[in-house]
Amino acid sequence: MTFWLLLTVNSVTFGGLLFLLSAGFSLIFGLMRIPNLTHGSMFMVGAYLGSTFLGGALGFTLDFWAAAIISALEVAVLGALMERLLLRRLAGQQLAQVLVTLGVSFMVADLCLMGWGGDPISVSTPAGLGGFVRVGLAVFPLYRMAVIGIAVVFAIALWLMLERTRLGAMIRAGVDDPQMARVVGIRVSRLFTIVFGLGAGLAGFAGMIGAPILSVYPGLDQDMLPLALVVVILGGTGSLLGSFLGSIVVGFIYNFGQALLPELAYFVLFLPMVLVLVLRPQGLFGGRLL
């Protein structure tokens, strides 16, 4: 019983973290059709920057949440710069975009290794969330519960942004028909920069939120990127609801697959992705932005 409860709680938590990671990926792909393979790097850079701020790199020690937000903003700026300077020139050339983003991800990995060294960095859980609640036999780690809460808050905030704001309306228009959006006077190119920055910032934020669970180490980017890809393919690109449900589904598959069929852990994780690609390429919830 404890076993099932622990796995269920963990599946939802991991799903929450995956949502924070993959929502940005999904938005970027949905609007710009760029398969951004630096997404894992953004996650890792966010975690590295955040852990450095925690350690007092700015001359004073930031608390965990402030560090997470500042590192997310910095990663957002990096993302926006990358869109302006590199990807803008490659509009519409998917192969070139894949190669450039892949290349940049390797370069970022090497720079991180140079800057932060190879030693893994352990990030302690924010004050007040270190413990866990015991209900009967079940253990609910507070921080992991908080991650679920954060994911839900972000899901709602993103939904409101897309649904209720002018920016959201422009993004939706851009996703549906970029040419028509241009015709009616939306500056789609500026929209691209904003969305790319937003997506990158979300990934950076997720990196810092994930750091107390995953720690920060060279190779974290390559560990997380495939998971984001699976989520987005399962959920459908450009669909917020798809990312959310896809994340939870992958969280469950990942946890229960590894616990029940450890020999087939990867097989179980990637099989649904293959099936969806073959049978329903638009993803389970694809085609709708919400």
Partner 1 sequence: MSRRLTARSISRRTLLAGTAAGATIALTRFPTPAIAQAAPFKLGLLTVKTGPLAQGGIQMEQGVLTYLKEKNYTMGGRKVDFVSADTGGNPAGAKTKAQELVERDKVDVILGPLAAFELYAINGYIQQQKMPTLSLAAADNLTQRQPNPYLLRASATSSQAMQPMGHYAATELKLKRVVTIVEDFAFGYEQMGGFQAAFQKDGGCVVNKLWPPIVTPDYTPYIAQISGCDGVCQGFAGSNPLRFMKQYATAGLKYPVVTGETGADDALLKSYGDEAIGLVSACPYTLDLDSDGNNRFVSEMLKNYNTVPGFYAAGLYINCEVVDAGLQGAGGDASDKQKFMAALKAVSLTDTPRGPIKFDHLNNVIGNIYIRRIGREGAKYGLKLWNKTIKTYENVSQFWVWPEQEFLAHPVYSRDYPPLTKC
Site for partner 1, rule CB under 8 A = 2-3, 6-7, 10, 14, 109-110, 113, 117-122, 124, 132, 134, 139, 141, 143-144, 212-215, 217-220, 222-224, 227, 254-259, 262, 265-266
| Smallest separation, CB 236 to partner 1 (Å) | 24
Instruction: Indicate the residue among 31 and 68 with the shorter CB distance to partner 1.
Output: 68
| Angle of CA points 17, 22, 23, to nearest 5° | 100
Tokens representing residue 42 in the block: 């953004």
| Smallest separation, CB 202 to partner 1 (Å) | 18
Instruction: Indicate the residue among 47 and 233 with the shorter CB distance to partner 1.
Output: 47
| Smallest separation, CB 122 to partner 1 (Å) | 5
Instruction: Indicate the residue among 215 and 282 with the shorter CB distance to partner 1.
Output: 215
The amino acid that residue 1 corresponds to is M
* Residue among 286, 257, 14 nearest 145 (CA): 14
Instruction: Indicate the residue among 30 and 144 with the shorter CB distance to partner 1.
Output: 144
Give the C-alpha separation, 246 to 233, whole Å. Answer: 8
Instruction: Indicate the residue among 132 and 159 with the shorter CB distance to partner 1.
Output: 132
| Angle of CA points 23, 93, 227, to nearest 5° | 30
| Smallest separation, CB 219 to partner 1 (Å) | 3
| Smallest separation, CB 160 to partner 1 (Å) | 30
Give the C-alpha separation, 57 to 74, whole Å. Answer: 14
| Smallest separation, CB 194 to partner 1 (Å) | 30
| Smallest separation, CB 282 to partner 1 (Å) | 28
| Smallest separation, CB 187 to partner 1 (Å) | 39
Give the C-alpha separation, 145 to 143, whole Å. Answer: 5
Instruction: Indicate the residue among 73 and 121 with the shorter CB distance to partner 1.
Output: 121
The CA-atom distances, in angstroms, between 64 and each of 53, 71, 130, 185 are: 9, 11, 12, 41
Instruction: Indicate the residue among 118 and 128 with the shorter CB distance to partner 1.
Output: 118
Instruction: Indicate the residue among 127 and 278 with the shorter CB distance to partner 1.
Output: 127
